[in-house]
Every structure is written in C-alpha cells, then in structure tokens.
A and B are shown apart, each in its own frame.
Chain A
Amino acid sequence: MMKPKTLKDYKKIAGKIAISQLEQLSQNLKGAKVVHVNSTREGGGVAEILNWMISLMNDLGLNASWEVIEGNEKYFDVTKAFHNGMQGTPIRLTGEMIKNYEDTLNTNFKRLQPVLEEADFVFIHDPQPAAFLDMCPNRKGKWVWRCHIDSSNPSREVWKYLRSKVVNYDASIFSMPTFAQPLPHPQFVIAPSIDPLSEKNCEINKKEIKETLKKYNIPDNVPILTQVSRFDRFKDPLGVIEAFNELTKTIPAELVLAGGRATDDPEGQVVLEEVQKAAADNKHIHVLMLPSDAHRTINALQRASTIIIQKSIQEGFGLTVTEALLKEKPVIGGNVGGIKLQLHNYYTGFLVETPEGAALRIRELLHDNEKIKRMGRTAKQFVIENFLLTRHLREYLTLLVGLKCNLTNYVLTESKDFNS
C-alpha cells in the first residue's frame, strides 16, 4: 500500500509552476466543504481519480470527502442499464427499474443527508447517484453533475429520465464537448487525467516486470500486446482477439487481455466467459481476471508490452490509453470518445475502426522498432503536458472559484478563506 501523496511529490514530474498554480488558486477555497459521490470505491477510472483528488484537495486546504452509494444487485443492474443507455444501447426502462433506483437512493440519502446539505460544493459522478439533487431541497451549496460517460448518442428513454434528474443542477461537466447534451445550466468540459505516481503508473524495476510475466506464464521472447480494461462489450475484447489471430498469421506475438471486475458492473462475468471461450484454443492469448487492487501487476504488464491496444467501440475517455502513453508505449485504439483526443496517427499511436485495421497497424509498428521508440517518447511528453492530475485539479479548482463567484465569465480573485 502506497502512502497518500502530497503536492510536493508531484513537483518533479509536473513542474514547480504547475504546483504553484494549484497553491495560488486554492487560496480562494481554503476550508470549503467539497463532497464527491459515486457508486464504487474500487475499479474503474472514476474511483481512481477520486482516490487522488480527495487527498490533494485536502492537502491544498479544502475540506474534501468521498461518499459511495450502497446498493443491491438489482440497483446495479439498473445503473448498468443507465450506463449502457447513455452510451447508446437501446434500453427499455420499466417502472420497477425506476422504483428500485429511486428507493436505493432514498435509503442512501438518509445516511448522507447531513453531509450533502452542509457541503459548499457537491460533485455527483455519473448517473448512479444523479437523483440525489431532488431529494435534497435544503442544500446550501452548488451541485455539479459530473458525467464521465460517452453520452454523445444516448438512448432516448434513458436520457429522458436522467435529464429530468440532472436538469436542476447548477452545472455539469463532460469529458469532451461531443459528450455534452443540451441542458439549461452551464456545461463545462474537463478531460480526466492520471496519477503518475500511483501504483499503476509509477516507475517499477525490470525484475518486478519479469516476475510478473513469469507469474502469469507470459513468454517475453516475442512482442507482447496488451489490452487492459474491464470485460465489457464496449471494450471489444473479442475484436482484439480477432485482430491478434489475423496478426499472428504472419508475426508471432503474445496477447494479454487483463481486466478486473467493478462492483457496479454485473455484465462483466458474461463477457469474460465469452472471451475465455474465444481464447480457449490459443495458448498465446492470456486472459487475466485481476483483483481490483492489482495496480502494480497492470503497471508491469503495460511496461512489459511492446504495444498497447484499446480497441473500444464506445469509450468515455480511455484512461488506460493515457497510462500506456505515459509509459512510452504507442497505442492502437478505437476511433471513439476520448481516445481520439489522445491518439494522433504516426505520433502517439493509431486510431482504427476494425480488427483488420488494428492488425495492420500493429504489424506496421512491429516492423519498425525505431518508430515504436519515437512514438513512445512523443506519447510520454504529450501526457505530461496535458493529462496529468495537476492539470485536472487546476481545472476543478478553477471551476470551484468560478462557482463561488456565481459563474461569471471573468473572475479576479482575492486570496482569502472560503467562508470569510
């Protein structure tokens, strides 16, 4: 277990100026009570972001906390349907589903009411806790709905319901402009980020990488290709296997499909079984179901890989792409969501539409080691400049200062404590 980080720890990688900007911005927010609410403490990008964000906000003098929705299997079935619906899957919502969702949130609200009512700022992450706002008429702070999902083309029925739950928020945040939906309040765009010092991203030695490969019986005498993601249809693991089968007709390689299970994703087991079936006759395909805290293992697998794949057919932002780029790995990614923002053909990786496209680009790269190295260096610099948590935190602090000043377009700050 790594000890919680402080801002000072990030000076070396993010630079002195980036840290100083955070300190200066936070002068206007000292003591502000900031509450984040989501539906899982482990697994998935949101939980990872909240892990560092709470700790660094507190380090900057804000009073930040993180609350998690507790629900039964039925509740998570409904929220998974919301999730899929927001990403475009046609969903039929029944009265029973809505009742289950709202009942669960009502029960949770009773537990969280004092914290939510007293908060100066509340961030509600994704659809799972979205209906909280209606349950909290005595709120004193500003409420922001933070949508991490690619909601560019949502199921009409799901969005109709969810829109009614988020329409009264003070603001909303989307990861990309294309994800935003028409709403009557200000909609901000903040791309997510990664923590370069987390167990998943920190530097690790070659010995540990070798041991990890040995543990999972992955040979390293041929190029290793890895996709790290939940076993989810939107991540297209079957498409990755198809691309690998096409590739290995000419070039030997090993494929690692490494994923974990998030507590709010009931579909994962079904998809995992489909993937295991597709990989069953191929000893060069390694399907790894990892525990949610296997961050160092994922780190080692990514670093051991020659190329990283993220062949999603729908994607929020694709933090696994960011992680790979930071580790100087070119990425072959699906031409969707935030992956488009991170992969620039011939610079940081390649965007592809099909398994054939993925196989073609992997083959192209495997024939040119220099290109792999050059793209890797560019990729790392790109992430350092744009997608580290310091940039992310700066945008959140900027938004908080903006909200404090009622979202005027231009805010000249004065350094003072939040409640003074």
Chain B
Amino acid sequence: MIHPDRRAFVWLALVVVGTLLGVWALLGNLPEPVVRNRFVVVPNGWAFLLGAFVLLIGGTAAAAYTYGLAKRPGRAAAYALTAGTHMFIWGVILTTFYPVLYLVAVSFNRNDTLASTLPREGHLLVRAGVIPNPAEISLAQYQKVLSQTHILPFQWVLVGLLVLAVVGIVGLKLAERLAHLPAYRADAWTRLLGIGIFVLAAITVVSITPAQFYGITDAGVRVPPSSERTILLYIRNTLLVSGMTGIFAVLIATTAGYAFARMRFEGRYGTLLSFVFVQMFPGFMALVAIFWLMVRLDLLNTFTGLILAYSGGAIAFSAWIFKGYLESVSPALEESAMVDGATRWGAFWRIILPVSTPMLLFIFLLQFIGTYSEFILANTLLQGQEMWTVGMGLRNFTSGRFDTQWGALTASAVLGSIPILLIFYSFQDALTSQQTAGGVKG
C-alpha cells in the first residue's frame, strides 16, 4: 500500500498537469479570428476565456487541497480556499490594472493616434489592438509633450537632489529591513530626508516660470508654446495651487480646531454646525458669486484668487478633522503646562502644535490631493493658457480637438499622475485609514 503522503503527491501532480493541459488546450484551440465591424473577433472567445479562468482557479484550489491532504488533512479545505483566492485576486488585479498598464504602454508608443487602422501583423492581442504594438516602443510622446520645456541648469540640480533624496529614503527602508538598521535611526533620517524633499520640491515648483516654455522655429525665433506641450507648466501650476491651499487651510484651521476641541463658549455649537453644513452647499454653484467677488478684488485669473476661493471649504473641513484629532489627545499635557504658568496660547503653541505635527501634515496632504483634482472652479477663474491646471490641460486633449491626440494625452496623463501617486503611496496607511474612518466628509 502506498503511503498516504505519496498518494496525495501523485494526485497533486495529476491535478497540476491536468489544469495546465486544460488551459493550454482551451487557449491553444481558439477559433480562427475574424474581422467584424473593423474589430478583430474570436468567435465565442468569452467561453474559452471564462473556461480557462475557472479552470485555473479550480485547478489551483484542487492542487492546494491535495497538497493540504498530504500536509495537514484537517486544513485541506482552508488551503484550497486560500489558493483559489490567490488566483481570483490576481484576476481582479489584472482587470484593475489593465487600463493603467495600457495607458502607460500607449504613452511609450510611437503611434500618436490609436484611431489609426489596426496592425495586420504580430500577436493576436496586438492585431486586435488591445495591447499597443511592442515593436513601436519609443519615447516620442514624452519628447513631444516636453519639447517646448526649457529647464535651467540649477533646476536640473534640484531635480537631481530630489531623486537622490527619494533614493535615500528607499535605501533607508531597505537598510532597516535587510541590514537591521535600528528603527529610531532610520526614522530620524527618513524624517530629515522627508523635510528635504518637501523643501526641494517647493523650491523647484516655485522656480519654474511660464517664461521657460516656448517653441523655437527653424529660423531660431521664439514663439509661444502650443497648449499640448506645456504639461509641465500645468503640473507646476496645480502643485502650486494645491500646496498653497493646503498650507493656507492648515494655518487658518488649526486655531479654530483647537478652540472647538478644548474651549467651551457661547455659540460654539452653532458655529460648529455652520462649519459642517456650509460645505454641503454645492460649492461651485456659487461660481457667479465667486466670480463677481474676484472681479471686485482684482483677483480674477490669479492663483491667489483661486486659492482663496478654495479656502472656505478647505478651512471648514480641516478645522473639523483637527478638532476630532485633538479630542483623542489627552488634555493632561496642556493642563499641567498651564498649572506651571503657561498661557492658553503658550500651551497651544508649545505643546499642542508640536504634538500634532503628523496630523497637520496629514490634513495638508488630504487637502492637497483633493485640490489637485478640482476642475470647475479652476476652469472658471483661470483664463490664460499659462495659468491652466492639469485637469484643464488634459481636457484640451479630449474635447479641444476633433481628433484626440492619444499619445500626447497619455504621456501627459502619466506625468500628471506621478506627484499624487508618489504622495499617496508614501502615506498610504494614514491616508486610507483616515478617509475610511467615516469622518463627516469622505
């Protein structure tokens, strides 16, 4: 009689081979593709695809089950469930990522417009146009959208330092994990580098000016840039506006949040209520009123005007979040300081502010990310092309012309996403947990 372990492994091998054979048979025997309505169609392809996917999940689960029988028979079902889950999750990840990967792939493709006819050669997926032709990889799109950007030498140095700082942080994380660098040391350095990145990025953003964007004709004459080729300026504008809005909101909202959390005074509840409810008014429907206000303040078509227009909602939101945070901080610290003779303001300034720096940074980031994606107020208040934000710049691609310039659009979209992507993943845990904690405003 065969040992139960061995028998299970035989089964395991059979399941694995069977699954692979089945998937291979399904995908290898796809019907001949036909062309219908100018699309490449594999007749009943969905059945083959679904079959392969189900077979893959089932096969993996069955393999894990047999493996579990051999290892820990009591947990075999859990093994099967977990292995099946892995396959399913990978299916979901693939589906979620497909548009993103496609976007990045198109941005690195030479073809400017995908409306052109489908390629006749290559893999089935290339012929169907669901992946860009890998034979045409190039940086042409990036060269195109950056061709009228002229970066000065000292800005290259700033960018170089920025990259170094980012590499440094990644290196620290690796050192902490691999070389067992003490956590407190790594944290101290990370904080230092983080501040460095913030300052460098701020200097870089402020130092870029619209004057650095121009085209040069064959005769060597400078001409105004084309609106499709100044994505870097749009990113700079958006970063400037978002950053200033975030800083401004934190500055103004901190004291208000503190008063709401720690002081009890006549009219507190009413003020708090109005803070919460006023931001529920569809803000941009006050556009004409805001426009009217900005014309009278001479702030139309200025970043200051746009930042002030954002400030109302940003301040109310930040004050509310900061109040919630302070309520979770014990008042004992300030109270003891005040017993020792500190004033209210002294306690706030020397104790509360230092303690809540991470929270203030977090409020800033939330505001920053939110402002980055605002469209309609910016679209109304900013008028000159050199004032456009990223959203307006992209809109120019999708609705400005009859023929959408896909290549340039995707390259711009990739470039415009990078700042927020970096920030989001750097502060992933803080950002996701706070937003889903079910505050007043998602």
Report if A and B associate in a common complex. no
| A interface, CB within 8 angstroms of B | none
| B interface, CB within 8 angstroms of A | none
